[in-house]
Amino acid sequence: MLNNWVVVPTCLPLVLRRCHTCASERFRASGKFRVNANHKLIDAWILVLCTACGETAKLTLLERVHVRSVRPELLERLHDNDSGLIAGLLQDPVVQRRNRIALDWDGAWRLDTGGSDHLDREVIDVSVHFAARIPVRPVRLIAEGCGLSRAEADRRVAQGKLVSAVRLSGKLSGDFTFTLKR
């Protein structure tokens, strides 16, 4: 029987970027956009706040774009400070590259395993789904979901009792499946 686990974000991740005021490297999303129109051109940014000094920084979304080329639904969501849109745009690789930022997901996600009734079985087949692109070590997820220490999970990988089609070392942010033999 296949068990389904889900990695779910619990809050917005921190933005890793250097603060020009205090040299801190962590920002939190303020939950607001800044939209500025100049005649027929529009600019839009996500506002982020330094966790150390509170200084505001802007992450560029649109820069000197013709207003008619922006979808009306997107424009409305920008004006409404839509938190779902902020979460989606922060995870967008194009936005991350353009603003030279990375995301810190520590403490911003949880693993939903659907209960612990699967732990007493001899063989466990699990499908792990990511609700957002959260980079996590698969061995960490497996250890947490199965009630093992990380060292024990690593030992089972070495023994061949924990197998997957994906590499279990390193970080992963996409769906995968694994089989654990007791």
The three-state (H, E, C) secondary structure of 102-154, written as one string: EEECCCCEEEECCCCCCCCCCEEEEEEEECCCCCECHHHHHHHHHCCCHHHHH
CA distance 115 to 99: 40
Question: Which residue shows structure tokens 């839009």?
Answer: 44
- For residue 18, the Cα-to-chain-centroid distance in whole angstroms is 20
Tokens for 20, please give them.
């020009």
Dmax over CA atoms of the chain, in Å, equals 67
Query: The dihedral of CA 20, 24, 27, 30: what is its sign?
Result: negative
pTM (2 d.p.): 0.79
Q: How far apart are CA 83 and CA 77, in angstroms?
A: 9
Measured from the Cβ of residue 101, the count of other Cβ atoms closer than 10 Å reads 18
Encode the chain (182 residues) as per-residue pLDDT tens digits: 788 999 999 999 999 999 999 989 999 999 999 999 988 999 999 999 999 999 999 999 999 999 999 999 999 999 999 989 999 999 999 999 999 999 999 999 999 988 766 667 788 899 999 998 899 999 999 999 888 899 999 999 999 999 999 998 889 989 999 998 87
How many residues are given for the chain?
182
Amino acid of residue 123: V
Dist. CA 4–CA 27, nearest whole Å:
33
Chain-centroid distance of CA 108 in Å reads 8
